[in-house]
Structure 1
Amino acid sequence: MTATGVPGHLTQGSATRGGIGESTLRPDGTLKVTGEFAYASDMWHEDMLWGHTLRSPHAHARIVSLDTGEALAQAGVYAVLTYDDLPAEVKNYGLEIQDTPALANGRVRHHGEPVALVAADHPETARRAAAKIKVVYEELPLVTDEASATAPGAPLLHEGRDDHHAAHTPHPNIVHRQPIVHGDVAAGRARADVVVTGEYVFGMQDQAFLGPESGLAVPAEDGGVDLYVATQWLHADLRQIAPVLGLPEEKVRMTLSGVGGAFGGREDLSMQIHACLLALRTGKPVKMVYNRFESFFGHVHRHPAKLHYEHGATRDGKLTHLVCRIVLDGGAYASSSPAVVGNAASLGAGPYNIDNVEIETLALYTNNPPCGAMRGFGAVQACFAYEAQMDKLAAALGMDPVELRQLNAMEQGSVLPTGQSVDSPAPVAELLRRVKARPLPPERQWESAGGAADIRALPGGLSNTTHGEGVVRGVGYAVGIKNVGFSEGFDDYSTARVRLQVAGGEPVAVVHTAMAEVGQGGITVHAQIARTELGVSQVTIHPADTQVGSAGSTSASRQTYVTGGAVKHACEAVREKVLEIGRAKLGTYHPAWATAELLLEGGKVVTDGGEVLASLAEVLGDEVVDLELEWRHRPTEPFDLRTGQGDGHVQYSFAAHRAVVEVDTELGLVKVVELACAQDVGKALNPLSVVGQIQGGSTQGLGVAVMEEIVVDPATAKVRNPSFTDYLIPTILDTPTIPVDVLELADDHAPYGLRGVGEAPTLSSTPAVLAAIRAATGLELNRTPVRPEHLTGS
């Protein structure tokens, strides 16, 4: 890793070890790699029951009848619940639009929709009982794409919509529509010497987290419930759960349990309401753990998309205009589709200066699986298409594809098609320069000095399909732009509580937030911030729960920015309170208490010149400083619903990739040899974690490029591959070398100058791999993932 650029802001307590800028090891790391970490699926309660969900075998059907008698009669069964058993007037939930029933209400809208719940004394008993529930369905006509969704007489998936998006959508089966209009496209077309168009298809991707949905609901003596659950957003869960249970929020207490990955798939509810309903009905703790098959039906996926793009350019390569239309399949329920539409539309032009732009983006209601948040959140699909267009345009102009991108690259001060100015570093051209300048990996790496082939380095790997004959190398480039944080006027804030006291003669800080640690390393960063700002070595991270204010979602690359900002803000307030105590107790003995800039370092109060005034233990004595504060970044605003204009985003992140692939053109097999990345992170708070995030995001983008896709039967809208046997994700044998070049160009608006890291590499890795495969084969390849038959014509 290399790090260059403007350093982050000068921070308090830089002499304390384990602070900001150091590669501090994760406190949960050893437990996770040794298998000792307690995930949500490991939870246990002495007298607990097991919950199970009966799901619809149809994608669209009316429930004619439902008989639970035989299931209730089975020994070991404590409860069977259907829609009619829901205890409150509120029976639906949803992140933004409350259109999802807790249990199906007379109609199912997608394959795998929850219909009934069972609680039993053993998980297999619960499964057998669920199989005895007799449900008679009458299948209904399917809505599976834009044509069937908007055709005259099309079945309406949500009749009588009254949500705030319904009024501006051209059809009730359109969840949300966002146009972006900037400049004069007709004038741009008139200037263009070359125009290229493309139709692109992006497949449905699963988050494929390793820890399945799981949680434990424990009924409480006050009539409420305690829920221990793997989630991404405790307070959003709480806001949706409590009304369906008919309880005030203070009686639904939530604690984060061990989370085995998320990537957006845990933003929506899965088993949370169901476990609580069963616990409250039976009066016993209820545990629910999905198997992998259930998991594929129990969470949202990445929106598949169809994208039409048109770019024009002058002979010297300057972009003249862009016209694009992006259609996202949101599936049966809204989830976060409106926000995904906003992202895809506002970022649909990519990190390029284009004066004349017309973009239309919409999301559909269909009977396909519900789709929502996944790493990259709308920007991934758009990046795949606009980067393919850049290569197509470069070929038409006879230009180097990297030079074309650099010629049109945005920079600080550039104006997006939404009218928003980029007011922090945007080193797009530099990122491309860096990945292009990196030495290429050696050719024919499978050949050893003795002449024997190392088949692991070949397309097909250990399947031993080739020894190098018919293998062709290709190199491809891509760059992307991703927003950081929640956008479009959302009140994006976080809360942190920080306590400082003396224990055993040493100052100890406790940091308490509701941030969901899903594997991203946020708890490590919070401890680093506390050490830096408070100058103490001993920092304890309190378990995340709803007994502290909301930290928002662990998504949108926002947690280090927003919850890290809240921890920093609370620590600064605690520091000022400590100094206030010190001035009151000891200030009369040394004039520096009143005149010097005082710092906390190494458990001491020191002047900016390094003079020690007192130990923190001496200052605090028996006193405890305990403060809980909210922190907000600067506000955003909604996009205009006619023109898409508005300062909708708080920050942007950029990453570029160069992919080197080798393709067996006879069998259609691909080996990604290297996937080099350059990314601006503003300030690397934990350099080791930063590189890990970039490599992880790059691998996830690689997956959707060459193997990952949920296959939905177009005739039945049923998922055909709900298992890791048939849904393939990259293993260590598929993962290439991923060298990372980190830039640190500080964003002066952000804490420590940092920039959200986790999502940007997921954008550009996919189109870079596709570009490399195109370079190797000469094929157009306008869909993801690329399959062997796309490369061989079979």
Structure 2
Amino acid sequence: MSQNTQGPFQLTRRRIIGSGAAAITLLVHDLALAFKPPTARLAGARPQPQGTPTQPQAPAGAPDWSGGPGKARFRIDGLAKVTGQKIYARDFRAADMPGWPTRTPERMAMILRATNPGVAFTGLNLDALAGVDAVPLLTITQTALTGFAWPQRDLASLNLSLPFSSAGADGVSQLLVPVGTAPQFYGQPVAILVFADSNAYRRAKRALQFQPGVVLTGGLAAPPAQPWVMAYSPVNYLTRYDVPGVAPPIPPFSQVQVGYASDPYQPDSTSQPFNSTARALRQRINTTLQAPRSGVLQLCGTYSTQVLDPMFMEPEAGLAWLDPAKQGNGGGALHLVLGTQATNGDATDSWTMFSKDDCPIKVKTVVLNSCYPGGGFGGRDVSTFPSLLAVTAALADGPVRIAQDRYEQFQGGLKQLASNITQRIAVDAKTGQFLAFGSQQVLPSGGQNNYSQFVAMLAAYCGLSGYDISQAYVDAIAQPSTGVVAGSMRGFGGPQASFAVETLVDEVAVALKRDPIELREINALREGNRTITGAPLEQPMRLREICRRAREHPLWREREKVKARRAKEGVRYGVGFALANQAYGTGKDGVMAEVALAPDGRLTVRTNCVDMGNGSATTLAISTAGWLGRNAHDVVMGDVGSFNALELHSGSKGNWTDPLWTPSFAMSSSACLTAFHQVHVTEQASRVLFEAGLLPAAAAIWGVPVAQVQGRTAWQAGRLTAPG
């Protein structure tokens, strides 16, 4: 039984947009302004076609996944997966897509990549292809290859508008390496080969893959026109100082409390008027960290993590087709079949890429058929793969497919940033209280910025982990390198920061001979504290309670006894403990959901987010139960175009007085956004549908005023009931 006991619902623009048989909710979660650019409304996006095969359907007669309102017997996509239905982008062919051409064979494309960023790319040696009957129909490069005998197109002549994430350390944005220049990073694409069909593609792959001398190089490249930057912008400098009782008194200082970011390495400016204050306070903090003091433990260390590959189940793959039917009417329709986290972003970038007036390829609309990605967690967030696929389709003579194998994915897929973090801490040796903390985080990020600067930003916000330290500073930069492009994969900077902090805290516990969990409990954040940014924690915090319960657990209390026993058996044994707190005040997230009720009572949830394997499709399907009394029958994931019906915009100069403005229209999918914000917005859409549609209808049937039953209804066995 679910009850609807909340007070009267106020139908205001700030809370919902839409009412009636379909309710749409746009939730903006705006904690603190981040520099990560939000995705604007995409006027050129069209909803994926009704009944697109990329959205799995349970076969007729299949058992019901639903376990009753708010419960699931198994995942909503479970049957489709275990019965081998087409569900991932790799599974689909052009023939599966309604309305796609069938006369033109599906083309297959291969991406050739650089293996040495230190030398210039000079051309291609594809002689092996002639001998295996696999001459490419088209070879795509950044600049034309001199003396190349086969058909070719170059991207330079298209005047593409590339996404911000493709900028290198020299400020140059590029998809492919221009002839005569050095690659920006290991694995950067140098050419795309388009083959007539999958048979020719397979012959070509056997002839070229792992063969030296296919990608030609020669000599050192000329220096770039612009020198490398030392860090992708913006950089992050956080300073917090809140020490009562000092003479003369010093007001509490933090980014939130003074209302400005501060760069202690620059003079004061109009936009950063407290730089000198931050610099002076850091000198005080460094004195606490380094000047010898009786009864104070001072430790310093450097901690590193390596580059990681996500190794998700499905390497990136996709289909694309530029329908030229509407070329005379402002441009064609670019159709994409992708498994991606960044549905809105990839559709926007694909459309924007051909948006310049002098671009010879005109794209009026983008239709993204979103698939289950088969793993993501940042590894498919602002990947270059969709852009490479889109430009290949724009130049090919029909539908084209690119499907990377495991090696190709490792060679070119997004990675997790490495880290080198140097930290200092000062601790009261008697009480165990953390007195001061300083951290310099350097995160090597690869040869293009991707989301690395924002990953470094979150690493800075996580720089104190879950501890209350009143004297602290954290610097974090995303450092360009020649490594494969890294991005938001796995934790968005949090794991790197937390690993370093927790390792240092363990060293403090050893030095003080204190219980590691007790030490954390003493210093853990509690309600009323502030984070490194100065953001106030105004909700109950359970970190200390978690520590207390962990200390009392037999696994912890008996660890030394068990360790000694296992040592006698020749087994190494240990029990560790670490504390981490999700960064608070990290930015703004726009999330969207539609809940629709069909005449036959069928409920459908529609969302722009995707299920990366974390079960979000099932979670959203059961989120309707609280207000509508049952789970959704269907969930449409990764829908880009439908929400354009709201006609919202998210320009930086807008404000809440404009009913069509929102600070953030949509963001990439992530596990935490789905678990919290996406569930909330689906619940709110369900509430709108109930309050503005079902409840008035029920009151009319009962013959009573809505106010009489408002907040007094309950769902029982699929029926809406009210007292009296």
Using structure 2 for the length normalisation, give the TM-score: 0.69
Q: Deviations over 1:220-272 (max 9, x none)?
A: 23322211111111111112222334567752211111321112100022432
| 1:471 corresponds to | 571
Q: 8 Å contact 2:422–2:440 — kept in the other structure?
A: yes
Among 417, 426, 435, the alignment partner of 2:541 is 426
Q: Deviations over 1:141-194 (max 9, x none)?
A: 8xxxxxxxxxxxxx9778278xxxxxxxxx545554211111241463466611
Instruction: Report the AA paired with residue 137 of structure 1.
Output: T
The Cα of 1:569 is off from its aligned counterpart by 2.4
Classify 1:580/1:373 alpha carbon distance in 2 versus 1 (closer, same or farther; 3 Å): same
CA distance in 2, matches of 1:569, 1:265: 30
The Cα of 1:445 is off from its aligned counterpart by 14
The Cα of 1:414 is off from its aligned counterpart by 1.1
Q: 8 Å contact 2:72–2:622 — kept in the other structure?
A: no
| 1:501 corresponds to | 598
SS at match of 1:480: coil
CA distance in 1, matches of 2:716, 2:177: 58
| 2:118 corresponds to | 60
SS at match of 1:108: coil
Classify 1:311/1:293 alpha carbon distance in 2 versus 1 (closer, same or farther; 3 Å): same
CA distance in 2, matches of 1:205, 1:158: 31
Q: Does 1:48 align with 2:106?
A: yes
| 1:758 corresponds to | none
| 1:386 corresponds to | 501
Q: Tell me: higher relative CO, structure 1 or 2? Use CA pairs within 8 A at least 6 residues apart.
A: 2
CA distance in 2, matches of 1:428, 1:309: 23
CA distance in 2, matches of 1:430, 1:23: 31
Structure with bigger strand share is 1
Instruction: Report the AA paired with residue 25 of structure 1.
Output: F
CA distance in 2, matches of 1:526, 1:589: 31
| 1:241 corresponds to | 350
The Cα of 1:45 is off from its aligned counterpart by 2.6
| 1:308 corresponds to | 422
Classify 1:383/1:157 alpha carbon distance in 2 versus 1 (closer, same or farther; 3 Å): farther
SS at match of 1:324: strand
Among 226, 230, 233, the alignment partner of 1:159 is 226
The Cα of 1:316 is off from its aligned counterpart by 1.7
Q: Does 1:137 align with 2:208?
A: no
SS at match of 1:92: coil
| 2:688 corresponds to | 573
Instruction: Report the AA paired with residue 194 of structure 2.
Output: A
| 2:407 corresponds to | 293
The Cα of 1:576 is off from its aligned counterpart by 2.5
Classify 1:194/1:589 alpha carbon distance in 2 versus 1 (closer, same or farther; 3 Å): closer
Identity %: 24
Identify the range of structure 1 (79-88 vs 357-366) with the bigger mean alpha-carbon deviation: 79-88
Instruction: Report the AA paired with residue 215 of structure 1.
Output: G
CA distance in 2, matches of 1:375, 1:9: 38
**Superposition map of 1:545-624 within 5 A:** 545-549=639-643, 551-555=666-670, 557-579=672-694, 582=697, 587=700, 590-597=703-710, 599=713, 601=715, 606=720, 608-609=722-723
SS at match of 2:483: coil
CA RMSD of aligned residues (A): 3.5
Q: 8 Å contact 2:518–2:551 — kept in the other structure?
A: no
| 2:272 corresponds to | none
SS at match of 1:316: coil
CA distance in 1, matches of 2:673, 2:187: 32
Classify 1:571/1:72 alpha carbon distance in 2 versus 1 (closer, same or farther; 3 Å): farther
Q: Deviations over 1:319-368 (max 9, x none)?
A: 11101111100110101111111111121111111111122111111112
Q: Deviations over 1:577-612 (max 9, x none)?
A: 3147527xx638622544222647368774553x5x
CA distance in 2, matches of 1:437, 1:574: 47
Instruction: Report the AA paired with residue 590 of structure 1.
Output: G
Instruction: Report the AA paired with residue 499 of structure 1.
Output: A
Q: Deviations over 1:266-289 (max 9, x none)?
A: 002243222233333233221111
CA distance in 1, matches of 2:690, 2:381: 34
Q: Deviations over 1:531-587 (max 9, x none)?
A: 22222355211243322236521226112322223222222222223147527xx63
CA distance in 2, matches of 1:103, 1:405: 49
CA distance in 2, matches of 1:579, 1:61: 67
| 2:635 corresponds to | 541
| 1:127 corresponds to | 205
SS at match of 2:176: coil
Q: 8 Å contact 2:609–2:637 — kept in the other structure?
A: no
Q: 8 Å contact 2:112–2:192 — kept in the other structure?
A: yes
SS at match of 1:483: coil
Instruction: Report the AA paired with residue 83 of structure 1.
Output: Q
Instruction: Report the AA paired with residue 115 of structure 1.
Output: V
Q: Does 1:349 align with 2:429?
A: no
| 1:483 corresponds to | 583
CA distance in 2, matches of 1:32, 1:129: 34
CA distance in 2, matches of 1:444, 1:353: 29
CA distance in 2, matches of 1:38, 1:474: 42
CA distance in 2, matches of 1:19, 1:421: 40
Classify 1:173/1:65 alpha carbon distance in 2 versus 1 (closer, same or farther; 3 Å): farther
Classify 1:371/1:422 alpha carbon distance in 2 versus 1 (closer, same or farther; 3 Å): same
Classify 1:445/1:72 alpha carbon distance in 2 versus 1 (closer, same or farther; 3 Å): farther
Classify 1:278/1:67 alpha carbon distance in 2 versus 1 (closer, same or farther; 3 Å): same
**Which sections of structure 1, spanning at least 5 residues, go unmatched?**
1-7, 142-154, 162-170, 447-457, 459-466, 612-794
Classify 1:11/1:260 alpha carbon distance in 2 versus 1 (closer, same or farther; 3 Å): farther
**Superposition map of 1:147-296 within 5 A:** 159=226, 171-172=229-230, 174-183=232-241, 184-186=284-286, 188-189=288-289, 193-220=296-323, 221-222=325-326, 223-246=332-355, 251-296=365-410
**Which sections of structure 2, spanning at least 5 residues, go unmatched?**
8-65, 96-104, 144-153, 242-283, 327-331, 356-360, 644-664
Using structure 1 for the length normalisation, give the TM-score: 0.63
Identify the range of structure 1 (551-560 vs 377-386) with the bigger mean alpha-carbon deviation: 551-560
| 2:189 corresponds to | 114
| 2:136 corresponds to | 77
Q: 8 Å contact 2:89–2:317 — kept in the other structure?
A: yes
CA distance in 2, matches of 1:172, 1:538: 50
Identify the range of structure 1 (284-293 vs 532-541) with the bigger mean alpha-carbon deviation: 532-541
Instruction: Report the AA paired with residue 587 of structure 1.
Output: A
Classify 1:435/1:349 alpha carbon distance in 2 versus 1 (closer, same or farther; 3 Å): same
The Cα of 1:81 is off from its aligned counterpart by 0.9
Q: Deviations over 1:463-521 (max 9, x none)?
A: xxxx986433222111111237xx6554x212222211222xxx211111121111111
SS at match of 1:254: strand
SS at match of 1:479: coil
The Cα of 1:82 is off from its aligned counterpart by 0.9
Q: 8 Å contact 1:336–1:372 — kept in the other structure?
A: yes
CA distance in 2, matches of 1:299, 1:412: 41
**Superposition map of 1:324-723 within 5 A:** 324-440=439-555, 470-483=570-583, 489-490=587-588, 492-503=589-600, 507-549=601-643, 551-555=666-670, 557-579=672-694, 582=697, 587=700, 590-597=703-710, 599=713, 601=715, 606=720, 608-609=722-723
CA distance in 2, matches of 1:185, 1:285: 61
CA distance in 2, matches of 1:196, 1:22: 50
Instruction: Report the AA paired with residue 638 of structure 2.
Output: A
